[in-house]
Amino acid sequence: MKTYFALFLIAASASLILTPLLRRFCERYRLVDEPKDNRRVHQKAVPRLGGVAIFLSILIALSVLALVNNLVTRALHPEFRGIAVLLACGLLVLLLGIYDDLRGANATVKFAGLAAVTALFYALGGRIEGLSIPFIGGVSFHPILGFVLTMIWVVGIANAFNLIDGIDGLAAGSALFSSLVLLTVSIVQGKTMVTVVALALTGALAGFLRYNFNPASIFLGDSGSLFIGFALAALSIQGSQKASTAVAVAIPVLACGLPVVDAGVTIARRFVSGKPIFQGDREHIHHMLLARGWSQRRVALVLYGVSALFGLSAMLFVNSGSGLTAVVLFVIGVAVVLAIGHLRYHEVDELRASFKRNIGERRTRATNNLRLRRACQSVASAMTIDELFRGTLEILELGEFGYATVQFSCNGQRELSERVLAAGNGSIQNVTLDQGRINWSWKGDDYKHLDVAGSARFWTMRLPLGNRENQLGHMDLFRSFDAGPLQFDVNYLTTVFQPAVARSAERIFETAAESTPRHLAAGAK
């Protein structure tokens, strides 16, 4: 245990010393992150390449072990190759990140580079060969499937930590909690190699956070975020090899819970909204919390708490049965979904509304669509103005409209409009004749004493009535913003209802024109 404690102190001390030295080097040679686009939340240039200090701190701490001869170092002798493979592949990822920090690399180059390093890692023995799945048991994978899963896990986790590196201290702090989980589990399971590497990584991250927490004086950069993501993914694979329980799945996933959730939400919402998957934006979880007016420090601390909860949940799976694993993962999944639903993502709101429309309200909407179609059929076959307004009234009530006005005329012919009114039986109220135009208004019972047309509580739709040759008038529909969504397809108002009213009005005027003197009939055409 003294060796473990000394290893942590060496890594933390090295990080505390190397980080400010690296910061001065970056400032001298202008190796800084400029706030050149609106995705960045910092306001001034900040040195990056923090991943170099973390890697060197780990390397120094592990190198000291070569000078010690005790139970820990003797237990590491058979594992030396595994440590060398992890550090060598980690160095390649670090170099890829440095290139991105200094020269800039697009998503294709980064993914190709990570894929190449992961393929090398797999070839050198770092691979997922099988898993124990809840309620199913142990499953061994074909080498091709094992390679694909290894590639998805390593590349995915590396990029997940890269994605959450958007505010001061978030990626480094989240990685610190992840490494603590892997460290604790490896101690319990007696995996010495994972323990010493996780200890060195934990110490390096703890020392680096002294300078990376808000207000940060140095950033991880892509070199740091990609490296720590790769290191954690590789450690989780090394720790889960030959594991016989479902913790081989649950613990690595939950140890990196925050970046996994953020990456999953990012991919899902970009897919739903039709955006390129790899196009950056300001809608990550930390951005949504910043949009609420939270400070960077508060966002980081809250998400540290989330990472800690994921870590504690992972610890429940140590020496647990597969049944408990499945139940706890289900509960955690439900909690994550509910939490994401409160972050005001447009995609989540639209999916929720779509689900409600297509599942919860589907039968009601279908029934109302049929009622609207039948009412429109009655409107289209109306022979008098009273029948037309009566059919219109049914649709207004079906749509929960609060107010409606209709204006008809045929070239302003007063006599013709009078004949149209006379052909009705007078059963419809609020019908007037003004300067040759027929006006009708209707108001719902709940709005009798309200000036609807002058109120800001209503939205309005105007439907012009007529055909290409004649414009007979228009209909204005008013509906309260508080009335909730329409319970029928709103397109039916323009594709079914408006043509029905226009055809009926045209026929009613034509019928009235046929019974007028010839000079009026000619003027009505």
C-alpha closest to that of 308 among 148, 175, 194, 167: 175
Kindly calculate the radius of gyration of the chain based on its CA atoms and give it in whole angstroms.
35
User: What angle do helix axes 322-341 and 257-273 make, rounded to 10 degrees?
Assistant: 50
Residue 132 pairs with which residues in a beta bridge?
138
User: For residue 473, what are its two tokens?
Assistant: 């008038």
SS3 486: coil
Which residues make Cβ contacts (< 8 Å) with residue 157, sequence separation at least 6? 229, 230, 232, 233, 236, 256, 259, 260
Is the Cβ–Cβ distance between 403 and 447 less than 8 Å? yes
Is the Cβ–Cβ distance between 58 and 197 less than 8 Å? yes
- Check residues 337 and 442 and name the one with the higher pLDDT: 442
Q: 406-463, pLDDT tens digit by residue?
A: 998 877 788 888 888 888 777 778 888 888 889 999 999 888 888 888 888 999 999 9
Supply the mean pLDDT for the chain: 87
SS3 348: helix
Burial 98-132 (b: 16+ CB within 10 A, else e): bbbbeeebeeeebeebbeebbeebbeeebbbbbbb
Q: 27-76, pLDDT tens digit by residue?
A: 999 999 888 766 677 778 899 899 999 999 999 999 998 888 888 888 88
Question: What mean pLDDT comes out for the span 385-398?
Answer: 91
Q: What is the pLDDT of residue 516?
A: 60
Per-residue pLDDT band for 90 (boundaries 50, 70, 90) equals: very high
SS3 246: coil
Q: Is the pTM of this model over 0.85?
A: no
Burial 291-316 (b: 16+ CB within 10 A, else e): eeeeebeebbeebbebbbbbbebbbb
Which residues make Cβ contacts (< 8 Å) with residue 261, sequence separation at least 6? 285, 336, 340
pLDDT at 511 over 50: yes
For CA atoms 499, 505, 511, 517, give the dihedral sign: negative
Per-residue pLDDT band for 244 (boundaries 50, 70, 90) equals: very low
Q: What is the pLDDT of residue 469?
A: 66
Residue 134, φ and ψ in degrees, nearest 5: -50, 135
Find out whether the peptide bond into 35 is cis, omega within 30 degrees of 0. no
Dihedral angle computed from the Cα positions of residues 409, 413, 416 and 417, in that order, rounded to the nearest 10 degrees: 40
Q: Tell me the C-alpha distance between 229 and 255, whole Å.
A: 12
Say which CATH topology domain 367-524 has: Beta-Lactamase (3.30.450)
Burial class (CB in 10 A: 0-12, 13-18, 19+), 24: exposed
- Check residues 19 and 412 and name the one with the higher pLDDT: 19
Q: How many other CB atoms sit within 10 Å of the CB of residue 459?
A: 11
Type of residue numbered 288: M
What value, to the nearest 5°, has the Cα angle with vertex 166 and ends 218 and 152? 110
Q: 100-135, pLDDT tens digit by residue?
A: 999 988 889 999 999 999 999 999 999 888 776 655
Q: What is the pLDDT of residue 355?
A: 76
Q: What is the pLDDT of residue 519?
A: 45
Provide the residue ranges of all domains of the chain, joining segments of one domain with +: 2-332, 367-524
